[in-house]
Amino acid sequence: MADHQKAAEALSVAKLGKALIRGEWRESAERFPSVDPTSGQQLVEVSLGREAEVDAAVRAAREAFAGPWSELSPGKRRDALERLAQLTESKEKELAQLEALDVGTPVVVGRKMTAKAPARGIAYYASWMDKLYGDVVPLTTSQPMLDFTMREPVGVVAAIIPWNTPLVFIGAKVGAALACGNSVVIKPSEVAPLSVLRWAELCREAGLPDGVVNVVPGDGQTGALLCGHPEVDLVSFTGGCETGAKVARAAAGKRLALELGGKSAAVVFADADLDKAAMAVALSAFGLSGQTCAAPSRLLVEDQVHDAVLEKLVELSRSLSVGDPLEPSTVLGPLASQAQLRKVSAMVASGKQEARLVSGGERLGGELSAGFFFAPTVFDEVKPPARIFREEIFGPVLSVTRFSGEDEAVALANGTSYGLAAGVFSRDLSRAHRVTRRLRAGMVWVNGYGQLPVQAPFGGTKGSGFGREGGRDALETFTQVKNVLIEL
């Protein structure tokens, strides 16, 4: 095990335990501990935002939006964001190490994926700055008129983000919001504030005007205060469904985008490349210790190949190296918090009553016993009424259910309240198309799982929310249409 306290000192985490408002660090009266999930030890105490901090941050964002940010020409705004993308990229190693300490994301995963995401997202959206076209609207009026539309920023965006991959949301959510000309107040989860605060510090260095990006660390109450603040124009929320419902109430009357939870299914037909399917499902279901919204936590597998696929998955689940996220050989780190460990343990206990445990099923001990480590777990013979079939676990737990034929596969895949993502594995292209159309999910992967290029729009349907992040579609969320009618 690496010395995490020493690593925390080297990364100057003590400096990061404050709100960042109008480009300045700000202390608050209340504080909360940021805990290292590998050791269970406190890393640093962080300021807890309440009315005063939320109000100061929103006012800073409003003033920056009305003044220096909107006065910057789109070309200058693009230059600033390109500088920010480059600076963020140059700090990728440091950001990955911070996430390893704060949420337990292995550095090797961080450097390939999560810590790469913010620079990619910001650079991608910076390139949209001169492509936000409006329309000339054809009219049927007898009087001569010219009608045209333009896309404008919405104003102050409250970006409320979860703990699992905070830097990914910096790229997809905050990058798009900034490129569209908005200013932002970010409320990271109390479980994962550190990498977001460090990234926000870079904004000033890159030359973004103070107040364009503000961060108020805190808890649910902090988030609720932000949602209800009258000067916030758009609440862009990513998190669980229950919290999403509260956010929708608190933000009533404001623009709203909700990226919520999932219980996604990977459907493997007998004619699929079974090795490829098993590998894709294992990496996506257990990667980041199962703490990803789109994880294929349900594997639906056709009768004839059930035993073969199950065997491959169990073997893969046992081969993943679980350990200290700072070590380069580690593929799976701990769960992000004690609360998540409790939740996963409770769901696994429920699964043991409802289905057949094939592998894993317990907290890891030995030299990992101080941290929140959980073994990759596989349940077989999981039936639709089971809690582990219907409810999001957000841990390294895979439920396997067998099916016979396309109709049953589709009914099982659609048989939860969620509609975030799904996967289809088949060599029959017609079948892959047919099934994809019938799946009620915002994202469907075919013969692969989990790849998310920055150009691809991502978001849910049904209980998984609405709005899209990534790609061109996110620009609709972060802009509004102004119509102009000129009488000629």
Using CB under 6 A, list all residues that contact ligand NDP.
160-164, 187, 189-191, 219-220, 223-224, 227, 238-240, 243, 246-247, 250, 259-262, 293, 392, 394, 420, 460
Amino acid found at 257: A
Q: Which of 99, 293, 302, 469 is catalytic?
A: 293
Measure the CA dihedral 257/339/201/234, to 10°.
10
Among the options 53, 259, 302, 469, which is catalytic?
Answer: 259
Our answer to whether residue 227 is catalytic in this structure is no
- By the 10 Å C-beta count (0-12 exposed, 13-18 middle, 19+ buried), 391 is classed as middle
293 has catalytic annotation: yes
Q: How far is CA 377 from CA 297, 333, 361, in A?
A: 11, 14, 5
Residue number with CB closer to ligand NDP (259 or 380)? 259
Q: Tokens for 234?
A: 């758009």
Least Cβ distance, residue 456 to ligand NDP (angstroms): 12
Q: Which is nearer to ligand NDP, 39 or 243 (CB)?
A: 243
Nearest to 103 by CA among 380, 356, 329, 289: 289
Give the residue with the Cβ less far from ligand NDP, 129 or 216.
Answer: 216
Q: How far is the CB of 342 from ligand NDP (least distance, A)?
A: 13
Closest approach of ligand NDP to the CB of residue 247, in Å: 5
DSSP string, 145-157: EEEEEEEEE-SEE
Alpha-carbon distances of 98 from 195, 270, 304, 432, 476, rounded to whole Å: 6, 43, 46, 40, 32
DSSP 112: I
Q: Of 68 and 220, which CB lies nearer to ligand NDP in the complex structure? A: 220
For residue 231, which phi and psi values (nearest 5 degrees)? -90, 5
Q: What share of the chain is helix, strand, coil (3-state, %, to 5)?
A: 45, 20, 35
Spatial distance between the Cα atoms of 276 and 335, rounded to a whole number of angstroms: 26
Shortest gap between Cβ of 443 and ligand NDP (angstroms)? Answer: 9
- Scan for tokens 């964001």, then name that residue: 81
Q: Cβ(157)–Cβ(184) under 8 Å? A: yes
* Alpha-carbon gap, residue 280 to 267, rounded angstroms: 12
Contact 452, 458 (CB under 8 A): yes
Tokens of 67: 């003044």
- Please, which residue, 259 or 302, has the CB nearer to ligand NDP? 259
Torsion angles phi and psi, residue 445, rounded to 5: -95, 140
For the bound state, the minimum distance from the C-beta of residue 336 to ligand NDP, rounded and expressed in Å, comes to: 9
Distance of closest approach, residue 413 Cβ to ligand NDP, in angstroms: 17
DSSP state of 138: P
Nearest-CB residue for ligand NDP: 223
For 110-240, where are the alpha helices, taking DSSP H only? 117-126, 166-169, 175-179, 194-205, 220-228
Instruction: Report the distance separating Cα 420 and Cα 435, nearest Å.
Output: 16
Alpha carbon 409 to chain centroid, angstroms: 27
Distance of alpha carbon 378 from alpha carbon 299, whole angstroms? 10
- CB-based contacts of 10, cutoff 8 Å, min separation 6: none
Closest distance to ligand NDP from the beta carbon of 188 (Å): 6
- Cβ of residue 284: shortest distance to ligand NDP, in angstroms? 13
Closer to ligand NDP by Cβ: residue 209 or 395:
395
Beta carbon of residue 262, minimum distance to ligand NDP (angstroms, whole number): 5
DSSP letter for 347, please.
H
Question: Smaller CB distance to ligand NDP: residue 234 or 274?
Answer: 234
Tell me the C-alpha distance between 454 and 444, whole Å. Answer: 16
Give the nearer residue to ligand NDP in terms of CB position, either 69 or 458. Answer: 458
Q: Which residues are bridge partners to 400 per DSSP?
A: 299
CB closer to ligand NDP out of 209 and 423: 423
Which active-site residues does the annotation give? 259, 293
